[in-house]
């Protein structure tokens, strides 16, 4: 499918934000991608247009019944000036899995990649060049049909917007303090926890606001049924290094299958580290911390890549991890993944897709 383009005049472009002060998700580029779906027509009319409001009927299904899914990935500019995407085909596949779960239409994965590449190419002046900075890519699908009834919508909008983002660790790693909640849950088995769907994030706000009020950075989620097994940390997957084994919760249906999670497992196994995907209880985590066997703990996700955990607070008790310092494995994984993303290390797993 050809992508139509309606571009702004070059003297009408937005001024670029200060590269040293980008934050996350604040500035949006000059253009966006958009495409419509109608039940009897399928996906049609893909186009790149100036960044602008959507026109949505107040009865649009997304506003009432929440049929909304999204993805998140980044474009990186290396020292060689080439622009790289990291495993974008995984985002395409995951978007379709989320769509399936939310009864939304599938889309062509090749078109998903092509749309990202063409949009990023047009917006390449927005890609910051300092190490650690990138252009965050947010593809999403919403149900746009005006209809107040609970059934899958027959009309959708797929769109991609771009936002330049700063280095997550401009001042180096800062291990975070985690609050383990046994009061709220993120997702239950059989629910929509494994889909990247908007409502999951609305559902998580209360717990993270409570944790922040108490001085913690993030929430660690336990399973919904027993409040016993570890699931995720904030909007990241979680890893524990216990003795010499790397452990992460198995994908059980309530956990988001992170692409960074998969990259970490792949690298660790390639380095000869035993990596286990299995249920891990909060009691096992705390016992291994108390006996000195818990060497490291960190979250993984596209935004931060690796986020070291410095302490865990559970039922009135706090345990430190690795003396509150970043562990060696966390550091090594961060260095390796970012080096691949910026083209400074061989892409031995074929993870990189060049924009140009």
Ligand X SMILES: *Cc1c(COP(=O)(O)O)cnc(C)c1O
Task: List residues near ligand X by CB under 6 A.
Answer: 72, 196, 232, 235-237, 256, 258-261, 300-302
If the CB atoms of residues 163 and 237 are measured against ligand X, the closer one turns out to be 237
3 state SS of 50 = strand
Shortest distance, CB of residue 298 to ligand X, whole angstroms? Answer: 12
If the CB atoms of residues 158 and 239 are measured against ligand X, the closer one turns out to be 239
The two three-digit tokens of residue 338, written as one number: 């970012």
The two three-digit tokens of residue 237, written as one number: 């997957």
Can you tell me the distance from the alpha carbon of 51 to that of 16, in angstroms, rounded to the nearest whole number?
Answer: 15
Can you tell me the distance from the alpha carbon of 219 to that of 96, in angstroms, rounded to the nearest whole number?
Answer: 28
Token pair 């910026």 is found at 342
If the CB atoms of residues 144 and 204 are measured against ligand X, the closer one turns out to be 204
Q: Under 8 Å CB-to-CB from 267, ≥6 apart: which residues?
A: 333, 336, 337
Shortest distance, CB of residue 41 to ligand X, whole angstroms? Answer: 31
Token pair 């960074």 is found at 260
3 state SS of 15 = coil
Shortest distance, CB of residue 236 to ligand X, whole angstroms? Answer: 5
Can you tell me the distance from the alpha carbon of 109 to that of 292, in angstroms, rounded to the nearest whole number?
Answer: 46
Shortest distance, CB of residue 9 to ligand X, whole angstroms? Answer: 36
If the CB atoms of residues 145 and 194 are measured against ligand X, the closer one turns out to be 194
Nearest residue to 196 (alpha-carbon basis) of 282, 296, 115, 96: 96
Q: Are 34 and 143 in contact (CB under 8 A)?
A: no
* Strand 294-301 versus strand 274-277 pairing type: unpaired
Shortest distance, CB of residue 81 to ligand X, whole angstroms? Answer: 25
Shortest distance, CB of residue 177 to ligand X, whole angstroms? Answer: 19
Strand partners, 298: 239, 308
If the CB atoms of residues 32 and 264 are measured against ligand X, the closer one turns out to be 264
Shortest distance, CB of residue 256 to ligand X, whole angstroms? Answer: 4
Shortest distance, CB of residue 313 to ligand X, whole angstroms? Answer: 21
Can you tell me the distance from the alpha carbon of 314 to that of 179, in angstroms, rounded to the nearest whole number?
Answer: 7
If the CB atoms of residues 91 and 288 are measured against ligand X, the closer one turns out to be 91
Shortest distance, CB of residue 98 to ligand X, whole angstroms? Answer: 10
If the CB atoms of residues 98 and 311 are measured against ligand X, the closer one turns out to be 98
If the CB atoms of residues 48 and 248 are measured against ligand X, the closer one turns out to be 248
If the CB atoms of residues 31 and 261 are measured against ligand X, the closer one turns out to be 261
Residue 281 gets which letter from DSSP? Answer: B
Q: Burial letters for 295-323: b for 16+ Cβ neighbours within 10 Å, e otherwise?
A: bbbbbbbbbbbbbbbbbbbbeeeebebbe
3 state SS of 88 = helix
């Amino acid at each position: 499918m050809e992508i139509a383009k309606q571009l702004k005049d070059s003297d009408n472009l937005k001024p670029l934000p200060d590269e040293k002060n980008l934050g996350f998700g604040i500035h949006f580029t000059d253009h966006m991608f958009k495409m419509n779906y109608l039940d009897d027509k399928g996906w049609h009319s893909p186009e790149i247009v100036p960044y602008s409001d959507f026109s949505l009927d107040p009865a649009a299904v997304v506003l009432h019944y929440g049929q909304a899914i999204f993805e998140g990935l980044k474009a990186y500019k290396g020292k060689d000036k080439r622009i790289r995407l990291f495993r974008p085909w995984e985002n395409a596949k995951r978007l379709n899995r989320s769509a399936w779960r939310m009864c939304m239409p599938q889309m062509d994965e090749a078109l998903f990649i092509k749309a990202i590449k063409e949009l990023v190419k047009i917006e390449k002046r927005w890609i910051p060049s300092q190490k650690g900075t990138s252009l965050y890519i947010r593809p999403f699908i919403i149900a746009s049909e005006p209809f107040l009834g609970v059934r899958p919508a027959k009309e959708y909008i797929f769109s991609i917007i771009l936002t330049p983002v700063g280095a997550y660790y401009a001042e180096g790693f800062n291990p975070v303090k985690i609050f383990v909640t046994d009061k709220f849950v993120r997702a239950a088995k059989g629910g929509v926890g494994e889909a990247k769907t908007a409502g999951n994030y609305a559902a998580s706000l209360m717990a993270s606001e409570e944790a922040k009020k108490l001085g913690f950075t993030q929430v660690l989620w336990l399973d919904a049924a027993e409040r016993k097994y570890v699931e995720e940390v904030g909007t990241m997957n979680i890893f524990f290094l216990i003795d010499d084994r790397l452990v992460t919760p198995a994908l059980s249906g309530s956990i988001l299958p992170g692409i960074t999670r998969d990259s970490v497992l792949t690298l660790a196994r390639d380095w000869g580290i035993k990596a286990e995907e299995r249920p891990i209880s909060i009691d096992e985590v705390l016992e291994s911390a108390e006996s000195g066997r818990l060497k490291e703990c960190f979250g993984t996700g596209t935004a931060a890549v690796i986020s070291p955990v410095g302490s865990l607070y559970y039922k009135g008790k706090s345990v430190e991890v690795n003396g509150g310092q970043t562990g060696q494995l966390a550091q090594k994984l961060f260095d390796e993944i970012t080096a691949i993303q910026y083209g400074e290390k061989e892409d031995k797993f074929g993870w990189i897709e060049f924009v140009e």
